[in-house]
Amino acid sequence: MNPELVLPILIPLTAGALSLAFWRSITLQRVLAVIATGLLLAAGIWLMHSTIEQGFLVVEMGSWPAPFSIVLVSDVLGAIMIVLTGIIGLAIAIYSLASTPKGHEKFGYYPLMHLLLAGVAGAFLTGDIFNLFVWFEVMLLASFALLTLGGERAQMEGAIKYVTLNLFSSAIFLSAVGLLYGMVGTLNMADIAQKVNSVDDPGMVTVVSLLFMVSFGIKAAAFPLFFWLPASYHTPQVAVSALFAGLLTKVGVYALYRVFTLIFTQDVGYTHTILLWAAALTMLTGVLGAAAQFEFRRILSFHIVSQIGYMLLGLALFTPLALIGGVFYIMHHIIVKTNLFLVSGITYRLLGSYELKDLGGVYRQRPYLALLFLIPALSLAGIPPLSGFFAKFIVVRASLEASEYVITAIALLVGLLTLYSMIKIWAEVFWKKLPDHVTDASRLNGEVKERNNWAYYVPVVGLAACTLVIGLYGQPIYILAETAADQLMNPQLYIEAVLGGQSK
Amino acid sequence: METMMAYVIGLLFTASIYMMLRRSIVKLVIGLIILSNAANLLIFVVAGLTRGAPPLILEGASEIAGTVADPLPQALILTAIVIAFSVLAFAVVLIRRAYEVVGTDDLDKMKDTDT
């Protein structure tokens, strides 16, 4: 029995239930949010420690033996994702103390945040394909409510697109699970993986695999199914945006990694080639979309799309090095992207706008904030020695080794355009002088005393430190990604761990 | 029987996509409802339809004799129905609020957040 495998799901669920019980006491909910996310991070680190020691952790729910029960499985990739969930959860919980409007807190912001984290953690740990669907829905329902909290016009419009496309993707996922069950007669992912090779009609397996690809592709915001993301991610209050930006699409990417390394590896030449071109086009459209935008969070939203492309590229090339790059990229991206959204929230607080034309002069008044923006921004663009450089370097190197020169060229070009976008934000928000039409700059000039200021800066500084550590001290992180990729490339290990060596 | 059900499911999927492509948000939600029903029906049929053979182990026997109905898809559908119910309840509230805030039920006019 490994309690650390269940804790990452139990902690946020309990915290969410407790927050509901203390509905009237916002103070208690706030304290609980910070404590619970801190505990989640601690549980994640514990899980990571035991996973590295033992290889795989498996817990069979209700003590039914493996193919019949729902299993929770943790491999190194799952443990990495849980640790990242803990880091982001803690950062958002602290940031929310200062940034969340009172009205949102009164209408269940904290319980929803816990529920979202529980859904995300469940999706990372489950070893059962239908259970994965259930965790997806838990996560989605919490995200729907968080997205619409506040009820502004833009939020409603964004939410309709977000809800519709995500429900559509869930229906495809559900149909695919049904068809897969019809072919192999099991829902346990390890069991599916060993039975799927002996079905009557291999062509049908490829069809089902494409259904999974479309469904997870929508959730991961891959080309051409990403339109819901830039239409909705800039509408809620900034802590919610940052939480979504860090975790939600990455659950889709994780699901793609899991399914397309473990189950659907029969026809790699076909499925992974589609993924490859989807990845290339995702990178390109995302970055070009960002170049056309002049709103802080919209630019960042489009960059989520383009970065998803790099992660998919790691999976699509399907070589050990490429998978290392992909896993490394996920680690780097989650931290950096959340951090950029958090910085955009600080400049919004200072000047009351996300539009680049209404922002300016921040460098003059707040040079340290400018530096805090520059670290994740340059990291996103892939400037050494920050984390993004190594992430891009590994992926690009892997695509060169696979002789995919066009893809390599696209990846490098997209890196350059990312730098362009980041410099655009830098020049507009930090470098240029404050536009004349902005009348209320009292916060920026420090004339209004700010309360709870530390809660804005602690998460940003913490995440920037994580970026620096990944960049400057990259070897252990690389080895971690290597272990994760190694397990992904050898699905037999996963199958044996879950089914206890009784595989054929 | 399965063949006929396959046609029914296909028809449901077609109808739901058609409804979702309409401009009214009410029809959009009706489309989503039909879509979730189509997916549930698909799960139900895909494991094969067996009539009048409950999966019971007779007294004294240690395993099931003969062909019986697969109970698992029904459990899956139950879960899926509950989830779809809660999600659609949210969607109905959402379109009502959206209609109040935006002042139109025409999806083509909700373009403020598009890029």
- Number of domains within chain A: 1
What is the distance in angstroms between the Cα of A115 and the nearest Cα belonging to chain B? Answer: 15
Looking at chain B, which residue has its C-alpha nearest residue A129? B76
Longest dimension (CA), chain B: 68
Average pLDDT over residues A256-266: 92
Full domain range(s) for residue A355: 267-472
Separation CA A15–CA A32 (nearest Å) = 7
Residues in B touching A235 (Cβ below 8 Å): 113
Token reading at A96 = 């929310």
Query: Is residue A504 a part of any domain in this protein?
Result: no
Q: Which of residues 9-68 of B touch A (CB under 8 A)?
A: 20, 25, 28, 32, 35-36, 38-40, 42-43, 46-48
Element (H, E) at A403: none
Mean residue pLDDT across chain A: 91
pLDDT-based confidence at residue A284 (cuts at 50, 70, 90) = very high
Structurally, at CATH architecture level, domain B2-50+69-106 sits in: Orthogonal Bundle (1.10)
Residues in B touching A153 (Cβ below 8 Å): 101-102, 112
pLDDT tens per residue, range B73-103: 889 999 999 999 999 999 999 999 999 988 8
Query: Is residue A324 a part of any domain in this protein?
Result: yes
pLDDT tens per residue, range A370-408: 999 999 999 999 888 899 999 999 999 999 999 989 999
pLDDT at A501 over 60: no
Query: Is residue A442 a part of any domain in this protein?
Result: yes
pTM reported for the whole predicted model: 0.94
Query: Is residue A331 a part of any domain in this protein?
Result: yes
Query: Is residue A396 a part of any domain in this protein?
Result: yes
pLDDT at A338 over 70: yes
Residues in A touching B112 (Cβ below 8 Å): 153-154, 157
Query: Is residue A434 a part of any domain in this protein?
Result: yes
ipTM over 0.85: yes
Name the least confident of A15-19, A99-103, A230-234, B52-56.
B52-56
User: Which residues is A63 bridged to in the sheet?
Assistant: none
Query: Is residue A424 a part of any domain in this protein?
Result: yes
Query: Is residue A75 a part of any domain in this protein?
Result: no
pLDDT-based confidence at residue A503 (cuts at 50, 70, 90) = very low
